Amino acid sequence: MLKSLKIFFVASALLNVGSNLSAQYSKELRQIIDTLASNTMAGRKAGDIGAEMASRYIAGYFIRHKIPSVKGTFDTLDYLQPFSVDRFYAVSKVYAILNQDTISIPDAEAFFPPKRKIELLSESSIVIRVQRFRNLLQALDTLASEGSPVIIVLPYRLYSKVAKQFFEVDFLLSPALGFTVVEKKQRALEPLVRLAKTSLNGSGRIVVFISENEICENKINAKAGKTILNPKVKLLITRPIYNESVVTANVVAVLSSNRPENPWLIVGAHYDHLGKSSKGLIYRGADDNASGTAAIMVTAKELAKATEKKSNNLLFVAFSAEEMGLYGSRFFVTSSLMPQNTLAMINLDMVGRPENQKYERNYVYAKYPSSARKVFKKPVKSVTVDSLVVVTKPPLLENLIYRYGSDHASFYSKGVPFLVLFTGLHTDYHKTTDIPDKIAYENLNRIVVWLFTLIRTL
């Protein structure tokens, strides 16, 4: 009974603090959303200049309000966690020239710098024949970055397997670690990824992959019925593979409890959006997700100002490339910045447009899985702010979409309990009409106060 009274009085004190501070939030939230959804930010598409400007704006906000980077510094670059999403395309044009005949070789791909064509003789190249996937990766891993051109001959089945796993598939890479493949399921292909990146930027050797079938069918073999490439064959290559790379960054700030052994609470929101339409119109993404980004920024500022000791260490992360496939959060959870002792993750995605009339447009959906009940059930139920209705059972459509459709899913895949806050879909979702004037700032203000209070009670 005494313990319950103590919790009540602590929560009441925190609510009073939040309420006293709340008057300034609406104006500040509007300023942040106006900036993130402005013409200058051009839709904040990951990899574009608008997203880069947004990331620096968010870092600048943390700096102004004395919220340090993970390095304990206030340098813009130290807040940024860069990563890239790379996709390779099989577009090589390879021809074999033998006895004045020029033959197109469809099942062949070449790795070399673009904007040039090359000719190479089989007899002056290193020809490697491999029969298994494991042997191929070993061969690639031991290749020096410079040297004579290399022609790798593979059985058709292996050639097809490599092509299927490598081309038109997104790779999440860490440029800071020499294009390390981040996700475990693709890590076996890292030698091929590094070969592609170094060859295409001109710092690696020329490598050509060719199927054994092409050698026999086009009679460019050394002897009839054999899959050995004729040493007199000249390969003419007019186009290499193509690499599409999106380079972007998460923005990370920290509020420490001064006790590193304490658990970590991660509060996140994605700041990227869709860029521009084919007609040049800007997808402003005021609700999706300038609203969530603004909310975590203001919450971080108020928590930094609070004089009471924090029970948990706090990480605030503005994720990039969520719209591409949750890549920012997927990168974060595999990186060295992901704390081992993580209490939970709170994700805010589209918290600015409460359209459900049932709650008189004064609510927030708060969804967590059954595995997170121990962390969130009591605090979510007990924390109240003004007239804000906290709905833990959203409508079916919103429930299905948000269950694993945002950055919290990356943390859930690692076994981290999560709470996702949102106000639901609306007719301006992923349209150029998602603008700042349509945000319900008073409701967003209450959500920030509620979030601030919730974090203090966890």
| pLDDT, tens digit, 9 for 90 and up, residues 107-153 | 999 998 887 789 999 999 999 999 999 999 888 888 887 888 999 99
pLDDT tens for 148-190 read 899 999 999 999 999 999 999 999 999 887 889 999 999 999 9
CB contact at 8 A, 379 and 454: yes
Provide the pLDDT confidence category of residue 60 given band limits of 50, 70 and 90: very high
Q: Which two tokens stand for residue 129?
A: 């024949």
pLDDT at 12 over 80: no
Least confident piece of the model among 65-69, 121-125, 294-298, 425-429 = 121-125
Average pLDDT, the chain: 90
For the chain, report the end-to-end CA distance as a whole number of angstroms. 20
Q: Which two tokens stand for residue 98?
A: 């033998």
Nearest to 62 by CA among 346, 259, 315, 279: 315
CB contact at 8 A, 323 and 46: yes
- Range 48-71 average pLDDT: 98
Most distant CA pair in the chain: distance in Å? 96
pLDDT of residue 225: 62
pLDDT at 21 over 50: no
- 347-366 in b/e burial notation, b at 16+ Cβ within 10 A? bbbbbbbbebeebeeebbbb
CA separation for the pair 142, 178 (Å, rounded):
16
Q: Which helix (H) or strand (E) holds 322?
A: helix 322-325
pLDDT at 242 over 80: yes
CA separation for the pair 151, 209 (Å, rounded):
6
pLDDT at 344 over 90: yes
Domains parsed from the chain with CATH numbers: 2-86+246-457 (3.40.630.10), 91-240 (no CATH)
Amino acid at 289: N
**Residue 95: φ, ψ to 5°:** -130, 145
pLDDT tens for 365-413 read 999 999 999 999 999 999 999 889 999 999 888 888 787 889 999 999 9
